[in-house]
Amino acid sequence: MNPLPSIAIVTQSDAMRAILARVDTIARSDTSVLLVGETGVGKELIADYIHRVSPRGDRPFVKIALSAMPHDLLESELFGHERGAFTSALTEKKGLFELAHTGTLFLDDIDDVPQGVQAKLLRVLESRQVMRVGGTATFPIDVRLISASKADLRELVRRGLFRSDLYYRINVCPVGIPPLRERRGDVPLLVEHFLRRYAPDRRVTVAPEAERALVSYDWPGNIRELRNIVQRLALFADGQITLRDLPPEIHDGHPVELLVKACARCMVDEAMSYTDVVACLETNLLRHALAEASGNRTQAARQLGLSLSTLRDKLKKHGLDAGAD
């Protein structure tokens, strides 16, 4: 069997590092894992990682996006079918549980499984045996299950949309993955990582104002959205990615709002005093104004609504007074 490709989990977030340390411990066991997080946060990547470092790492790794599978075909896909089980079943087919035997099965978007299939799924997990659609014989299975959900399954259980017994069966080791907007410090690292992937033969940099806008953006599509945008930017970038190269939804935010959001350290570092936070934000605002004015202090002062002398005093105060007007 061909080895899995190397897996890169790029982060400097303390929260993500703590999660990865926990994942390392979980991976060495054989227990079921439930990954919970918004679409695009990297649940499949974490599942790949768990399988790779687990004792089953050299065995099959089978995955399915349940939300992309028509409900009427899902049972056959998971459990297989015998020839003649239904009109289009011209040959017998092994299901994913059989294909993953001795390895790992990753069920993504398990919150989309219809309740009829939930009952059969629970029976397979409890009995460790699977029966194909239209069959009479059972097959023993030895599978490590990793599930992923973009929704809070406890809420779905409360609303009667997800079986409570199945929830408790798959929720042995839950792992919550935070959205990208809660770990903004990872954005520059991820941008650099994807630029190396999509422009390996070119040196592409990111202008400071563009990086601030990227960090400030809320990334509703999370890492998947960031990856796709960087791939597009790398295709057309001519040496440096500037603010005007970014999609409108990223660069059209209010400058002050973007700067406040971008100053992630100010917002999360409890050791910083009020004075330190104000100084940090003011420094970023001054740098942004100078960058927008291409270093012209008169123009930067006008943008900030300051007199030129006041701007000079503030630049000196924050150690930004090098250079000519």
Q: What is the pLDDT of residues 33-70, one digit of tens each?
A: 999 999 999 999 999 999 999 999 999 999 999 988 88
CATH of domain 181-317: 1.10.8.60
Radius of gyration over every alpha carbon of the chain, rounded to an integer in angstroms: 26
Pick the CATH number of 14-178 from 3.40.50.720, 1.10.540.10, 3.30.930.10, 3.40.50.300: 3.40.50.300
Task: Look at residue 262 in the predicted model and tell me its pLDDT.
Answer: 55
Find where tokens 């104004």 sit: 289
How do 138-140 and 129-131 pair as beta strands? Answer: antiparallel
Task: Identify the pLDDT of residue 88.
Answer: 65
Q: Where are the domains of the chain?
A: 14-178, 181-317
Amino acid identity at 28:
R
Tell me the pLDDT tens digit for each residue of 176-230: 999 999 999 999 999 999 999 999 888 899 999 899 999 988 898 999 999 999 9
Residue with the larger pLDDT of the pair 68 and 82: 68
Both tokens assigned to 248: 């409108």
Which pLDDT score, from 0 to 100, does residue 136 have?
74
pTM: 0.73
Exposed/middle/buried for 94, CB within 10 Å: 0-12, 13-18, 19+? middle
Beta-bridge mates of residue 146: 33, 106
Name the token pair of 68.
């992309």
Contact predicate 240/204, CB 8 Å = yes
Q: Which residues contact 241 (CB under 8 A, 6 or more apart)?
A: 204, 205, 206, 207, 210, 233
- For residue 3, pLDDT over 70 is answered with no
Q: What is the CA angle 17-222-277, rounded to 5?
A: 65
Count how many residues are written for the chain. 325
Predicted confidence at residue 260, as pLDDT, reads: 59
The per-residue pLDDT for range 229-247, each reduced to its tens digit, is: 999 999 888 889 998 899 9
Q: How far apart are CA 185 and CA 187, in angstroms?
A: 6
Lowest mean pLDDT among 33-42, 78-87, 129-138, 222-231: 78-87
Where residue 305 falls (left for φ over 0; alpha for ψ -120 to 50; beta otherwise) is: left
Average pLDDT of the segment spanning 266-292? 73
DSSP letters along 13-37, please?
-HHHHHHHHHHHHHHTS---EEEE-
Sorting pLDDT into bands at 50, 70 and 90, what band is 271? low
- Predicted confidence at residue 311, as pLDDT, reads 86
